[in-house]
């Protein structure tokens, strides 16, 4: 198992060829580090002492060549070490993550996500860096140390013994300090993990934090760990700097001995000057490999601590095999289910399920109902192989469930939770998650995934097509990917105007070059198009020198600054004290995150005149005016004269840009697609008037009809499938998430379908649609096990099991259970009529 793998096995099992090359390079580098010392000695004794210029040039040239070549070899060694380290980190992270994904669900219920994330990211990164030089660093430095020591002994044995005598003392002291440092480092890792969990928990539950103003509570949680981490760091630094002090002291003690003894021997004529110079250089260089060995020892201890803590934490055996040991096809099960005397016990004593027995034929439907905590979901999860049972039997087509591999179960069972997890990415990626997993891991990986038609068919059945269509209509297309589709939409625009243009003129703010746009910002009214260059984007216009000159030339600068000032003063006065209420800021030209800034600007505005207004305030006021949308922002109104000025300026601006920089802006033209606007806005060529909600819906239906006539409806839906759902599907409603979960399971087409309150977040119409689907198309085709909350949904099920305290106390058809007038009867007729 990966969690029991020794640290050094990662480098010893792999990269043997690279390690051999490293050793050869290390030997060459060591020779080239010792060689210049001999050249120093000869430069002094053979060249300078004899005044031999040719010898001086020769030895200096050899010295320089050796230094340069040694540097180049060291560069190659560093690159190889870095490659090995990063490769080991890549493999280590991939294999540990693969192991984590196979761990039992209870492990994840007790393990905070922050701990897993920290282990796989920052903690493994430092281990990977160490592993790059795990073999090369000690070899090169030990051999270098021995080579320098041998050369020093060659020059003068007595001096060599005296110089090296301090190192055994250092070897005794440094590990003792390091041991204390390691204990503190283990504590630091534990506290850092806990602190990461607190932060991760707060971020995940931010709606609860902000909804309950729990800022101080979360700060107090973090402060407890921060204080402990502060204390640990102080103690760690104490030992860290004490270790450095010891290293520096012993390093300085060596030259002292050399100067005393070596100087005395040189004065006495028993040691020549060139040898003393070479000896001093050798001793200075001796410290480099020694220091690297000390650093290596510290890195090794740190990496060992981190590695063992990571591996110990994940040292959990997976409950089920992922793939069969022998090569075989996944079992194709018909879906006959038999549960015999099944019990599920947690923590060694808590019995969640107690002696459960039931029998279900292929294609039959079983409903699990009962009070909260009765064990319904646990039983569903055991049958779905999400929990491991140890007492009793679960047989599918006569095969014990716990002997089946994950691949077998994935091919035959589809599980939909009450709160399906939605991955960051597109709707399509989430819909095909189960199918892609099968095709990635199974023997049928070369088969085609569900076609577009098959996907839309499933979405229609569960009532998700309308959602996808709405997302597609509100999507911005890409000119690189949708150019052909965009041309077809322009043709639909022509049809729309032929049928509806005159009738809807008062309900749509059409893009009309001769008319002021009330549902468009002032900036968009002026440029009347979409900027293709950053300087012409709305937020950049106030600082665009050419645009500011244009405003002055057209006498718009002063009126727009007046408008910006009016908006700032009015908005700040109206919304002061409401900064936390997003509702009011939806109708404000000042977003909530800029409110404080504009409050300060209003305070700094002069009582009269604007001659000496700072440039940053002027830019802010102009920015506010340019983002003003007359139909949306009611804090100010435009005079008729200013509207006329803006229209005149629009025409002048279009003429100027068309001649000076024609690629800068895509102007609104009836025959061109507007990639800065949604599909719907492109078809109607304008903005819907938001105050007419029912009329807007009718307009949308008119557009949908035209798209259907042009056979483009599925293309729009396909665009909708590319909708980015956000982290954990935050951009989707609870009902939409459940529909994706249902569709994901149905697209896999499993023989057994388990629904764990999979419709609890759906509205009544959607629930009725799913109920019809279960009772018609899925009836007899899939063995269905449904944990039901609303009892009216289980009326037509083949079998209903009523659970209480982990046991099945009643079982039968709907009518039978109602006639018995037991617990099911009470649930069906009690308050809310739901279980």
* pLDDT of the residue at 51: 80
Lowest mean pLDDT among 84-88, 472-476, 575-579: 575-579
- Check residues 712 and 314 and name the one with the higher pLDDT: 712
Query: 537: closest CA among 550, 553, 521, 551?
Result: 521
**Any idea what DSSP says for residue 113?**
H
Lowest mean pLDDT among 52-61, 132-141, 437-446, 791-800: 437-446
Residue 770 corresponds to which tokens in the numbers above? 């799913």
Average pLDDT estimate for 271-287: 65
Asked whether the predicted pLDDT for residue 365 surpasses 90, the reply is: yes
Mean pLDDT of the chain: 84
* pLDDT of the residue at 198: 79
Work out the pLDDT band at 152, boundaries 50, 70, 90: confident
Top mean pLDDT of 43-47, 122-126, 368-372 is at 368-372
Asked whether the predicted pLDDT for residue 473 surpasses 90, the reply is: yes
Query: 243: closest CA among 307, 159, 163, 184?
Result: 184
* pLDDT of the residue at 474: 92
- Check residues 180 and 337 and name the one with the higher pLDDT: 337
Work out the pLDDT band at 154, boundaries 50, 70, 90: confident
Lowest mean pLDDT among 225-239, 252-266, 738-752, 760-774: 252-266
Average pLDDT estimate for 268-289: 66
* pLDDT of the residue at 273: 60
Residue 229 corresponds to which tokens in the numbers above? 């981490």
What are the residues whose beta carbons fall under 8 Å from the beta carbon of 810, sequence distance 6 or more?
A: 800, 801, 802, 817, 820, 822, 823, 824
Burial label, 4 (beta-carbon count in 10 A; 0-12, 13-18, 19+): exposed
* pLDDT of the residue at 608: 55
- Check residues 619 and 274 and name the one with the higher pLDDT: 619
Average pLDDT estimate for 384-393: 90
First and final CA of the chain: distance in angstroms?
43
* pLDDT of the residue at 530: 86
Write out the H or E segment, with its range, that includes residue 118: helix 113-118
What are the residues whose beta carbons fall under 8 Å from the beta carbon of 182, sequence distance 6 or more?
A: 301, 302, 305
Question: What is the phi/psi pair of residue 701, to 5°?
Answer: -65, -35
- Number of Cβ within 10 Å of residue 55's Cβ equals 15
Average pLDDT estimate for 309-327: 83
How would DSSP label each residue in 2-35? GGG--TTHHHHSS-HHHHHHHHHHHHHHHHHHHH
Average pLDDT estimate for 253-277: 65
Residue 484 C-alpha from the chain's centroid: 33
Query: Are the CB atoms for 279 and 155 separated by under 8 Å?
Result: yes
In angstroms, the CA 265 to CA 258 distance is 10
* pLDDT of the residue at 414: 92
* pLDDT of the residue at 200: 72
In angstroms, the CA 40 to CA 34 distance is 10
pLDDT in tens, 659-704: 888 888 889 988 889 988 899 999 999 888 766 667 778 888 989 9
* pLDDT of the residue at 283: 65
Asked whether the predicted pLDDT for residue 609 surpasses 70, the reply is: no
| High-pLDDT (> 90) share of the chain, % | 27
Average pLDDT estimate for 29-42: 78
Query: 228: closest CA among 176, 174, 191?
Result: 191
* pLDDT of the residue at 456: 93
Query: Are the CB atoms for 163 and 254 separated by under 8 Å?
Result: yes
Work out the pLDDT band at 720, boundaries 50, 70, 90: very high
Work out the pLDDT band at 600, boundaries 50, 70, 90: confident
- Check residues 482 and 323 and name the one with the higher pLDDT: 482
* pLDDT of the residue at 588: 84
Lowest mean pLDDT among 230-239, 260-269, 307-316, 324-333: 260-269
């Amino acid at each position: 198992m990966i969690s029991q793998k020794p640290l050094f096995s990662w480098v010893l099992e792999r990269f043997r060829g690279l390690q051999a090359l490293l050793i050869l390079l290390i030997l060459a580098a060591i020779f080239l580090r010792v060689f210049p010392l001999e050249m120093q000695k000869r430069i002094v004794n053979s060249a300078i002492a004899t005044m031999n210029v040719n010898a001086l040039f020769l030895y200096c040239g050899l010295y320089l060549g050796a230094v340069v070549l040694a540097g180049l070899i060291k560069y190659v060694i560093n690159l190889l070490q870095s490659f090995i380290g990063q490769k080991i980190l890549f493999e280590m992270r991939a294999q540990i993550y693969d192991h984590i994904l196979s761990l039992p669900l209870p492990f994840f219920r007790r393990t905070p996500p922050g701990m897993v994330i920290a282990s796989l990211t920052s903690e493994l990164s430092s281990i990977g860096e160490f592993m790059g030089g795990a073999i090369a660093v000690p070899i090169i430095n030990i051999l270098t140390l021995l080579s320098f020591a041998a050369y020093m002994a060659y020059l003068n044995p007595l001096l060599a013994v005296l110089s090296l005598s301090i190192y055994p003392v250092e070897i005794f002291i440094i590990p003792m300090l390091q041991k204390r440092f390691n204990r503190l480092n283990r504590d630091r890792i534990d506290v850092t993990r806990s602190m990461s969990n607190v932060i991760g928990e707060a971020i995940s539950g931010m709606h609860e934090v902000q909804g309950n103003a729990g800022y101080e509570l979360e700060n107090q949680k973090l402060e407890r760990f921060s204080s402990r981490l502060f204390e640990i760091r102080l103690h760690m630094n104490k030992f860290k700097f004490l270790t450095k002090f010891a290293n520096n002291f012993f390093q300085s003690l060596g030259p002292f001995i050399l100067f005393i003894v070596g100087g005395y021997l040189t004065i006495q004529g028993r040691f020549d000057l060139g040898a003393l110079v070479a000896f001093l250089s050798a001793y200075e260089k001796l410290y480099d490999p020694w220091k690297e060995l000390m650093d290596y020892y510290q890195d090794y201890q740190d990496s060992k601590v981190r590695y063992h803590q990571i591996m110990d934490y994940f040292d959990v055996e997976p409950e089920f095999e992922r793939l069969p040991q022998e090569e075989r096809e996944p079992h194709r099960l018909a879906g006959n289910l038999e549960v015999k005397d099944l019990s599920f016990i947690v923590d060694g004593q808590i019995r969640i399920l107690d002696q459960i027995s039931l029998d279900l034929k292929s294609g039959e439907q079983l409903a699990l109902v009962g009070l909260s905590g009765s064990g319904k979901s646990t039983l569903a999860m055991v049958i779905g192989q999400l929990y491991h049972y140890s007492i009793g039997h679960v047989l599918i087509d006569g095969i014990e469930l716990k002997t089946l591999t994950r691949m077998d179960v994935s091919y035959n069972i589809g599980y939909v939770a009450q709160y399906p997890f939605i991955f960051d990415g597109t709707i399509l990626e989430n819909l095909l998650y189960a199918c892609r997993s099968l095709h990635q891991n199974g023997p049928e990986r070369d088969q085609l995934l569900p076609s577009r038609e098959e996907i839309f068919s499933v979405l229609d059945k569960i009532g998700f097509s309308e959602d996808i269509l709405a997302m597609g209509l509100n999507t911005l297309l890409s000119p690189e990917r949708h150019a052909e589709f965009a041309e077809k939409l322009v043709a639909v625009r022509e049809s729309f105007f032929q049928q509806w243009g005159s009738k809807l003129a008062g309900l749509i703010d059409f893009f009309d070059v001769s008319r002021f746009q009330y549902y468009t910002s002032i900036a968009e009214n002026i440029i009347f198009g979409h900027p293709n260059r950053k300087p012409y984007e709305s937020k950049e216009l106030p600082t665009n020198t050419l645009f500011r000159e244009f405003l002055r030339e057209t006498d718009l600068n002063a009126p727009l600054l007046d408008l910006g000032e009016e908006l700032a003063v009015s908005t700040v006065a109206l919304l002061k004290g409401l900064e936390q209420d997003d509702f009011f800021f939806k109708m404000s030209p000042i977003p909530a995150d800029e409110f404080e800034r504009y409050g300060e600007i209003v305070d700094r505005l002069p009582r009269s005149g604007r001659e000496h207004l700072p440039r940053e305030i002027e830019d802010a006021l102009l920015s506010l005016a340019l983002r003003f949308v007359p139909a949306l922002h009611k804090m100010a109104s435009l005079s008729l004269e200013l509207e006329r000025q803006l229209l005149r300026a629009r025409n002048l601006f279009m003429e100027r840009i068309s001649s000076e920089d024609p690629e800068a802006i895509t102007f609104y033209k009836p025959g061109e697609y507007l990639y800065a606007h949604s599909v719907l806005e492109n078809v109607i060529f304008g903005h819907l008037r938001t105050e007419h909600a029912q009329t807007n819906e009718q307009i949308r239906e008119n557009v949908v009809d035209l798209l259907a006539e042009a056979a483009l409806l599925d293309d729009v839906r396909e665009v909708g499938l590319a909708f980015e759902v956000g982290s954990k599907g935050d951009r989707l409603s609870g009902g939409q998430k459940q529909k994706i979960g249902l569709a994901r399971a149905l697209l896999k087409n499993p023989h057994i379908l388990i629904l764990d309150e999979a419709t609890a977040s759906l509205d009544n119409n959607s629930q009725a649609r799913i109920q019809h689907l279960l009772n018609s198309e899925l009836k007899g085709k899939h063995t269905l096990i449904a944990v039901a909350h609303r009892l009216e949904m289980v009326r037509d099920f083949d079998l209903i099991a009523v659970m209480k305290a982990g046991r099945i106390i009643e079982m039968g058809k709907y009518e039978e259970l109602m006639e018995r007038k037991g617990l099911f009867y009470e649930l069906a007729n009690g308050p809310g009529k739901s279980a």
